[in-house]
Amino acid sequence: MKAADAAAAPTPEATRTVTAAVAKKAAPVARPVIQQVERVKATTAGVKRGGKRFGEAVWAPLAKASNVLWLEVTGVLFGMFAVVAGAWAWNNRRDLAGAGTAAHQEWLRIAMFLLFGYLTVSSYVRAAERSRR
């Protein structure tokens, strides 16, 4: 079985001889084809590079603007909660003098006002920082 496979296999010298003969005949024809293939590869690489730059030029400002807009919108929403909590705490400020659940609720209102106030200010600060980059 091994002898039959070895006899049927082509010899490397014969393969090299045939390849060299084909290459000699095809050399004048293959040269323009190879040059055209190289030009197509260079053009393709240039188009890819240009497309990438175009995408960066278009999407980067849009992503930046949408990020800043998102921070400003969340700042507005946090600000609304802060205003409601602040008004609620101000209207019920007399509850701080007493003891019990009314005083605890008033401290929770004040804490909520401070938390949402901080989130409002930090959202606007972050939006201003990102818009300057």
Per-position pLDDT tens, the chain of length 133: 666 666 566 655 555 554 555 555 655 666 777 777 788 888 888 888 888 888 888 888 888 889 999 999 999 999 999 999 999 989 988 888 777 788 888 889 999 999 999 999 999 999 999 988 7
Contacts of 49 (CB under 8 A, 6+ apart): none
Contacts of 78 (CB under 8 A, 6+ apart): 116, 119, 120, 123
Residue reference for tokens 């053009």: 43
What is the Cα–Cα distance from 63 to 55, expressed in whole angstroms?
11
pTM: 0.57
